[in-house]
């Protein structure tokens, strides 16, 4: 176990989860002498509506974690590598030479926490797949670093509410990749600007054309030819609805938000922004269709 532990949030099995993992051991993974994965899942007593732990229950959960770490590590020669809190439970993951007396050691540790129910298990996993799943992606690693910077600034008295310029740098493997990215961002940006100009002019067809250019630019940025293929049939149906209802709301502010998230390389934010746009479009469509004579 190293001293370099940190946490991040992600969805695990479609549940919002907090993942706390030992980052410092990554260069040594997998550890050949510990090919067995051991786990202990403890059901939360009072989870919040998202299935995460509450501040009231946190001290007891921390005490359980310390007891399990001390007992399982000593009895099974195991190494705690991470934990997941979500879906109304806290999951502890260890790696060991073999399961040994896992069941007995966990039962001994949980004696003083009789109000909690738990499960234990083990599997032979020499490649440490579970740890690699716990280890954050490059995007989450960057978010963790950003959080540390903000925490360090706050400790020095910095106020995060003060607006300031933040420069972002992107590095590419070659000139062609950089040019392609620049062209993609420019196309989306120009499409958003065109929508703004068309909205000011008030021309319905110009607004529709600008909206279509925006969606084409975003789909091209996804590098998924199948998405580009379905755009025309979907837009054809959508245009028929517009003609029947004589109403159209392109959601310009939402388009700007999508562009900003893409530009900042925030995949989660971009996905959420697109979902909000889709939900808004569906609601607008239902209202418009109700008004058709």
pLDDT for 80: 97
- Highest-confidence segment of 46-50, 188-192, 289-293: 46-50
pLDDT for 101: 94
pLDDT for 169: 73
pLDDT for 195: 62
pLDDT range class, residue 203, cuts 50, 70, 90: low
Q: In this structure, how many other beta carbons lie within 10 angstroms of the beta carbon of residue 86? A: 24
Of the listed ranges 179-188, 207-216, 254-263, 284-293, the one predicted with least confidence: 284-293
**Residues 74-131: tens digit of each pLDDT:** 999 999 999 999 999 999 999 999 999 999 999 999 999 999 999 999 999 999 999 9
pLDDT for 59: 95
Assess whether pLDDT exceeds 60 at residue 207.
yes
**Residues 246-278: tens digit of each pLDDT:** 555 556 677 777 767 777 767 777 778 777 777
**Mean pLDDT across the chain, nearest whole number?**
82
pLDDT for 122: 96
In angstroms, the CA 239 to CA 246 distance is 10
Of the listed ranges 2-11, 41-50, 80-89, 195-204, the one predicted with least confidence: 195-204
pLDDT for 34: 96
Of the listed ranges 6-10, 25-29, 158-162, 287-291, the one predicted with least confidence: 287-291
**Where exactly are the structural domains of the chain?**
5-135, 175-290
pLDDT for 275: 79
pLDDT for 292: 53
Q: What's the CATH number for 175-290?
A: 1.20.120
pLDDT for 143: 87
Contacts of 93 (CB under 8 A, 6+ apart): 37, 38, 39, 80, 81, 82, 83, 84, 130, 131, 134
**3.90.105, 3.30.70, 3.30.43, 3.30.60: which CATH number matches 5-135?**
3.30.70
Assess whether pLDDT exceeds 60 at residue 243.
no
Q: Residues of the chain with pLDDT > 90: what percent?
A: 43
Stronger pLDDT, 21 or 213, i.e. the higher one: 21
pLDDT for 187: 72
Cα distance from N-terminal residue to C-terminal residue, the chain: 69
């Amino acid at each position: 176990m190293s001293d370099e532990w940190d946490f991040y949030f992600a969805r695990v099995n479609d549940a919002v989860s907090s993942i706390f993992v030992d980052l410092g051991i990554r260069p040594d993974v997998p550890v050949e002498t510990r090919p067995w994965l051991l786990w202990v899942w403890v059901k939360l007593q009072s989870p919040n509506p998202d299935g995460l732990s509450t501040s009231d229950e946190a001290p007891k959960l921390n005490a359980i974690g310390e007891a399990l770490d001390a007992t399982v590590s000593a009895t099974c020669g195991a190494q705690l590598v991470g934990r997941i809190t979500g879906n109304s439970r806290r999951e502890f993951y260890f790696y060991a030479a073999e399961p040994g007396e896992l069941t007995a050691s966990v039962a001994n540790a949980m004696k003083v926490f009789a109000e909690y129910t738990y499960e234990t298990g083990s599997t032979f996993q020499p490649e440490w797949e579970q740890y690699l799943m716990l280890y954050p992606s490059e995007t989450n690693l960057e978010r963790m670093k950003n959080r540390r910077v903000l925490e360090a600034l706050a400790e020095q008295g910095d106020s995060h509410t003060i607006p300031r310029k933040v420069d972002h740098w992107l590095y590419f493997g070659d000139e062609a990749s950089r040019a392609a990215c620049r062209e993609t961002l420019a196309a989306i940006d120009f499409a958003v600007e065109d929508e703004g100009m068309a909205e000011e002019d008030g021309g319905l067809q110009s607004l529709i054309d600008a909206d279509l250019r925006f969606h084409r630019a975003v789909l091209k940025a996804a590098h998924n030819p199948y998405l580009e293929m379905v755009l025309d049939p979907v837009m054809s149906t959508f245009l028929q609805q517009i003609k029947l209802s004589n109403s159209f709301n392109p959601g310009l502010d939402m388009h700007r938000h999508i562009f900003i998230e893409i530009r900042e390389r925030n995949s989660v934010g971009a996905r959420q922004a697109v979902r909000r746009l889709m939900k808004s479009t569906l609601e607008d469509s239902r209202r418009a269709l109700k008004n058709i004579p």
